[in-house]
Amino acid sequence: MKQGEFYDPVKETMSLTDRERTLNEMLQDIVRYAYERAPAVKDKMDRAGVTPDQIKTVKDLEKVPITRKDDFTAQQKANPPLGGFLAVPRPSIIYVSPGPIYEPEDPEEQYKICAKALYATGFRAGDIAIDTFSFHMVPAGARIAEAAKMLGITVIPSGVGNTELQLEIMRDLKVNCYLGTPSFLATLIKRAEELGHNFRRDYQLKKAWFIAEMLPPSLRQSFESYGISAAQGYGTAELGALAYECRQKSGMHIPEEVVVEIVDPKTGKQLPPGEVGEVVATPFNKIYPLIRYGTGDLSCLTTEPCPCGRTSYRLTGILGRSGEEIKVRGMFIHPRPVQLVMSKFDQIARFQVVVTRQGQRDDMTLNLELKDDIADKQRFIADLTKNFQDICRVRPDRIEFVTPGTIPDKGKIILDQRTWK
């Protein structure tokens, strides 16, 4: 089992000179590999007039066009099932995100990165962790469970929902670690108190690790008031883990298995540390190599040394989105699937998804303008809610019928009105 402060002390504490050299060597290798084995990568580089020999450093990546989720989805549909990005004959695991988007997994690499992230947070052999991430189609639940098991942690794969049962499991098995979203942990604590429990006294929870949602400072402080050390990671289903906090919680370290750039979303040019731009990643994934994949998330880099001793650059946090796609309760909501849902209902003239923050939970309202009145609105609401949840994978909290002219003619399909404090 691992001991000490670092999961991989050689890589995590290498000098900046060694880190830069190693990163550039690995980048050259993955670009050449992807060009030779993934037709979609070769095609986009050929169209840009770029050869693998021209990519020698991270700065050289600016020559390669960025692939974004819209491009990715279109390529998978045009060249099914995997868009020409697959670099091996057959992957062992394929996950499915809303769209649908198909995501072959590089399990060995991802489990290692996630294990490194959990270890940096303080998870150790002998811990008992409840894994409340989804195990259905998306990678989070299984990916994090396997990483925890690599560290010698006992994992309870509880999945999402079933609040009171989860609380019973946590008490009976003396769970001391939580894996999931911050909003669901807040829900668990609130429900425990509603049931008359003293959460700090009656439960053994001491550590929590979050991805898929923002962790506002106020919510982190709330968890800490219960004696829970709360830390967060960052990643996407397509790319895997991209950054993670250590116990200093002064930004999120970028793992050694990926190149992360911060770029101007309009030009794709790299921005210096301290400037806010889009997170663009190139993981060293030899199953599904995605060279310069734009996440749509906004962040900035800090090069200040971290007191923990890790020498990687860090992301200062996720500061919003560069496009209209946003993440709601851990799932991305994109305008295109929303349009697909609404197209199934002839009665709808205009629509808009409005996302707000109610307490520590994302709240989603579908505002609709109708062409004509509907006789059975309850049936209509039930049908629309089911279709929305089936396609977008998130259930709307309510459907509101608004007067004609309320929704702007060229307004955003998804309006994010959340604030994070």
**Interval 18-32: pLDDT, tens:** 999 999 999 999 999
For residue 421, what pLDDT is reported? Answer: 72
Q: For residue 94, how many other CB atoms are within 10 A of its CB?
A: 16
Please tell me the total number of residues recorded for the chain in this structure: 421
Locate 186 and state its tokens: 């807040």
Locate 318 and state its tokens: 């996720």
Distance in Å from the first CA to the final CA of the chain? 38
Locate 385 and state its tokens: 């809610």
For residue 334, what pLDDT is reported? Answer: 76
For residue 1, what pLDDT is reported? Answer: 42
Which of the listed CATH numbers 3.20.20.70, 3.40.50.12780, 3.40.50.300, 3.40.50.720 matches domain 1-322?
3.40.50.12780
Rounded distance between C-alpha atoms, residue 173 and residue 130, angstroms: 10
pLDDT at 285 over 50: yes
For residue 3, what pLDDT is reported? Answer: 57
pLDDT at 279 over 50: yes
**Residue with the two structure tokens 């089992």:** 1
pLDDT at 274 over 90: no
CA dist list (Å): 292 to 196, 273, 281, 319:
51, 18, 5, 20
Locate 305 and state its tokens: 């040394």
Span 331-416: which CATH code? 3.30.300.30
User: What is the average pLDDT score of the chain?
Assistant: 92
How do the domains of the chain map onto residue ranges?
1-322, 331-416
Facing residues of 233 across strands? 244
Query: Helices marked H in 246-376 — which ranges?
Result: 335-343
Predicted TM-score (pTM) above 0.85? no
Percentage with pLDDT > 70 across the chain:
98
Min mean pLDDT across 53-57, 330-334, 358-362 is at: 330-334
Min mean pLDDT across 148-157, 231-240, 405-414 is at: 405-414
Predicted confidence (pLDDT) per residue in 187-243, tens digit: 999 999 999 999 999 999 999 999 988 888 889 999 999 999 999 999 998 998 999
**Residue with the two structure tokens 């999961």:** 7
Q: At what angle do helices 163-172 and 182-194 cross, to 10 degrees?
A: 80
Predicted confidence (pLDDT) per residue in 52-103, tens digit: 999 999 999 999 999 988 788 889 999 999 999 999 999 999 999 877 889 9
Average pLDDT of the segment spanning 380-394? 87
For residue 2, what pLDDT is reported? Answer: 52
Q: What is the DSSP letter of 270?
A: B
